[in-house]
A and B are shown apart, each in its own frame.
Chain A
Amino acid sequence: MADLVPLLKAEHLTMRFGGVVANDDITFTLEEMELRCLIGPNGAGKSTFFKTLTGQLVPTSGAIAFRGHPIAGKLPHEIARMGIGIKTQVPNVFNGLSVRENIWLAVRRKATPRAQGPAVDAVLEMIRLTDHADRIAATLSHGQRQWVEIGMVLAAEPELILLDEPAAGMTDEETGHTAAIIREINQTRAIIVVEHDMEFIRQIAKKVTVFHQGRVLVEDTVDKVMADQRVRDVYLGKKVAA
């Protein structure tokens, strides 16, 4: 079983915007059930990398495969149907609809009509919004809307989940909840998280990939990455050292 195709594999991925090389020859592998954090200073290339994974950008060269099927150049809805769930950086929810209907729209693609109700309830429970199920999404707080979006991603039952800054703009308490939700999801699914908040990464991370100037600087466990002198120099600076 050792030769199984990895869940996600990017090989020699390069992305150029005119003269700027945003991603330079990146090779990246994600195994089943893995939880991976992508970090790096601004302009390091993590967002570009994330966008090529989600089909928003087509790489200049190189290949990305999900379970051996190429992703590059596919449309967002095709990638979603392959089994990849995406949470974008800015919360993208159906603002005019109730929380319940938001989740229902994600559930109904997979579940039979009979199973939809319980499935929606289960997701509401997990994102802790059962009491707010009938509220219109636009009336929720920023943090709650982030959870609605995470809930929608979950409800679609993807095999791989990509989260772009899931804790952005959250209070410490909300961040704690989000970390708990992510750990719970990871019991059954692989996740990639792009994040700035180091505290948050400490709460969830197992393995971390550090981007720097369009390349992968280092890839290791969270403790080793934090201890790495190069990482401290380029990104973490004195905040962690202190």
Chain B
Amino acid sequence: MPIRFRLAAQAVAVVLAIVAIALIPSTIELFAMMQLTLFAAMAVLALSLAFIWGFGGILSFGQTAFFGLGGYAYAIAAVNFQDSTPSILLAIVVPSVFAAILGYFIFFGRISDVYLGVITLTVTLILFNCVNSTSGDEYRIGKALLGGFNGMPAVPTFNVPFYPDQVLSPEQSWWVTGGALLGVFLLLRLLLSLPAGRIVVAVRENEVRASLLGYDPRKVKLLTFILSGAIAGLAGALYVNWGAFVGPTIFSLSLSAEIIIWITVGGLGTLLGPVVGCVLIEYIVAYIGSQQAMNSNLVLGAVLIVFVLLLPKGLVPTARDLLMRLVPAPGPKAQLAEERVPPSAAASHMAGAE
């Protein structure tokens, strides 16, 4: 019974989200909507780390590597084809292939977690320096000039699939970006409720036990890594579509750190938390930036410290715990079984996230 109730509640939430995405352009100003478009693109990036870190147990500092590769793949392809349709596809495929190659050596080489963090961080820096030093006419791919430190301006934005001359309006771009965010969110939700997703969580919980049951943790982690790279790549394309620009700072370390802060604030081990954390933090950063009274990095650091000390679980899990305490549960089962999972695998991600 509680499971049916939860499913119904989730269906209502999805419908509400669709309605909100549909109505936003007609209710708020263009500037605010553009900002929301940026936040939605960043939230897709947040989801990519939320999945691999919160559910796969792999702390990758390199999500911006895939994000940047996706952005550049989109920009280069869009300049060459003058059509966003194959470019978006490439923005997903290129980072996935890169993740597959990098991940193969990391996971099949049995490299430990700490080194995984170092390697992903270093790869991001290498990409930054490579792209940063491509100034000059000789660095071009087809018609696309890489532009080095200056980046690539005037990248064609999204168009109606297969109709290059029908460029999307800002409203339509919002619908695509907001829709992509909802789509990725629902896709990950679905995946996590399927056996494949439960195995990802099992490997996070106990790699030794998973392998003693016959699961190959190397393969599971590699696939998790590739999927999260693909999502980050899509986020890169959405980001470039928002600004019609891509530059090497897309590989920056500060962005890598920011994603981790979004997730810490929103709640590790959830999907909703990182989205909330991302929008909240990005909003604060944008607000502070427009005031010019304080340094936004200082505030970000303070926010991170406050959350780690006072709300280590993050916003969403804390709110959920409070709700559960307020609503008297019918029995111990309802308290422990968690959202969305089918009865055969009623499980929780509450633990193991820390």
The residues of A with any CB-CB pair to B shorter than 8 Å are 54, 75-77, 80-81, 85-86, 88, 92-98, 100-101, 104-106, 108-109, 116-117, 120, 134-136, 138, 149, 152-153, 156
Residue B322 is within 8 A (CB to CB) of chain A in the complex: no
Known: A95-B352, A134-B337. A105 touches B346 (CB 8 A): no
Residue B189 is within 8 A (CB to CB) of chain A in the complex: no
On whether the beta carbons of A98 and B337 are closer than 8 Å, the reply is: yes
Residue B149 is within 8 A (CB to CB) of chain A in the complex: no
Please indicate the chain B residues that have their CB under 8 angstroms from the CB of A93 in the complex: 206, 209
Number of interface residues of B (CB under 8 A): 31
Count chain B CB atoms within 10 A of each CB in A77, A86, A96, A136 and give the residue with the most.
Answer: A96
Residue B77 is within 8 A (CB to CB) of chain A in the complex: no
> Chain B interface secondary structure, helix, strand, loop or mixed?
helix
CB under 8 Å from chain A, chain B span 299-354: 332-333, 336-337, 344-353
Please indicate the chain B residues that have their CB under 8 angstroms from the CB of A149 in the complex: 209
Partner of A101, one of B209, B215, B346: B346
Which residue from chain B places its CB closest to the CB of A85 in the assembled complex?
B212
On whether the beta carbons of A134 and B209 are closer than 8 Å, the reply is: no
On whether the beta carbons of A106 and B213 are closer than 8 Å, the reply is: yes
* Nearest Cβ on chain A to B82's Cβ, whole angstroms: 48
* Nearest Cβ on chain A to B348's Cβ, whole angstroms: 6
Of the A-B pairs whose beta carbons lie under 8 Å apart in the complex, a sample of 15, sorted by A's number, is: A76-B208, A76-B212, A77-B216, A80-B214, A88-B208, A92-B208, A94-B202, A94-B209, A95-B351, A101-B346, A101-B347, A105-B199, A109-B215, A134-B346, A136-B351
On whether the beta carbons of A96 and B216 are closer than 8 Å, the reply is: no
Residue B166 is within 8 A (CB to CB) of chain A in the complex: no
Known: A96-B348, A97-B201. A86 touches B212 (CB 8 A): yes
Beyond contacts A77-B213, A134-B333: 19 other A-B pairs, Cβ-Cβ < 8 A, are A76-B211, A77-B210, A77-B214, A77-B215, A77-B216, A77-B217, A93-B209, A95-B351, A95-B352, A96-B205, A96-B351, A97-B347, A98-B347, A109-B214, A116-B344, A134-B337, A134-B346, A136-B336, A136-B348
Please indicate the chain A residues that have their CB under 8 angstroms from the CB of B202 in the complex: 94, 97, 105
Which residue from chain B places its CB closest to the CB of A91 in the assembled complex?
B209
Inter-chain CA distance A101–B348, complex, in Å, is 9
Inter-chain CA distance A81–B216, complex, in Å, is 10
On whether the beta carbons of B332 and A134 are closer than 8 Å, the reply is: yes
On whether the beta carbons of A96 and B213 are closer than 8 Å, the reply is: no
Please indicate the chain B residues that have their CB under 8 angstroms from the CB of A96 in the complex: 201, 205, 348-353
On whether the beta carbons of A156 and B214 are closer than 8 Å, the reply is: yes
Residue B136 is within 8 A (CB to CB) of chain A in the complex: no
On whether the beta carbons of B346 and A92 are closer than 8 Å, the reply is: no
Which residue from chain B places its CB closest to the CB of A138 in the assembled complex?
B351
Please indicate the chain B residues that have their CB under 8 angstroms from the CB of A95 in the complex: 205-206, 351-352
On whether the beta carbons of A152 and B336 are closer than 8 Å, the reply is: no
Please indicate the chain B residues that have their CB under 8 angstroms from the CB of A92 in the complex: 206, 208-209, 212
Known: A97-B201, A97-B202, A135-B336. A104 touches B209 (CB 8 A): no
Which residue from chain A places its CB closest to the CB of B331 in the assembled complex?
A134
* Nearest Cβ on chain A to B198's Cβ, whole angstroms: 7
Which residue from chain B places its CB closest to the CB of A108 in the assembled complex?
B195
* Nearest Cβ on chain B to A9's Cβ, whole angstroms: 22
The residues of B with any CB-CB pair to A shorter than 8 Å are 195, 198-199, 201-202, 205-206, 208-217, 332-333, 336-337, 344-353
Known: A108-B195, A134-B337. A94 touches B212 (CB 8 A): no
Inter-chain CA distance A108–B213, complex, in Å, is 10
Inter-chain CA distance A98–B346, complex, in Å, is 7
* Nearest Cβ on chain A to B222's Cβ, whole angstroms: 14
Known: A80-B214, A105-B198, A152-B213. A97 touches B344 (CB 8 A): no
Inter-chain CA distance A153–B205, complex, in Å, is 17
Which residue from chain A places its CB closest to the CB of B204 in the assembled complex?
A96
Inter-chain CA distance A117–B344, complex, in Å, is 7
Inter-chain CA distance A135–B214, complex, in Å, is 24
Please indicate the chain A residues that have their CB under 8 angstroms from the CB of B214 in the complex: 77, 80-81, 109, 156
Which residue from chain A places its CB closest to the CB of B354 in the assembled complex?
A96
Known: A94-B202, A96-B350, A134-B336. A101 touches B345 (CB 8 A): yes
Partner of A152, one of B195, B198, B209: B209
* Nearest Cβ on chain B to A130's Cβ, whole angstroms: 13
Please indicate the chain A residues that have their CB under 8 angstroms from the CB of B215 in the complex: 77, 109
Which residue from chain A places its CB closest to the CB of B333 in the assembled complex?
A134
Inter-chain CA distance A101–B345, complex, in Å, is 5
Inter-chain CA distance A102–B123, complex, in Å, is 36
* Nearest Cβ on chain B to A242's Cβ, whole angstroms: 39
* Nearest Cβ on chain B to A105's Cβ, whole angstroms: 5
Known: A96-B205, A116-B344, A134-B337. A101 touches B213 (CB 8 A): no
Inter-chain CA distance A153–B351, complex, in Å, is 23
* Nearest Cβ on chain B to A104's Cβ, whole angstroms: 6
Count chain A CB atoms within 10 A of each CB in B209, B333, B349 and give the residue with the most.
Answer: B209
Which residue from chain B places its CB closest to the CB of A155 in the assembled complex?
B213
Inter-chain CA distance A106–B201, complex, in Å, is 14
Inter-chain CA distance A177–B217, complex, in Å, is 33
Please indicate the chain B residues that have their CB under 8 angstroms from the CB of A94 in the complex: 201-202, 205-206, 209-210
* Nearest Cβ on chain A to B108's Cβ, whole angstroms: 11
Count chain B CB atoms within 10 A of each CB in A93, A98, A105, A106 and give the residue with the most.
Answer: A105
* Nearest Cβ on chain A to B38's Cβ, whole angstroms: 34
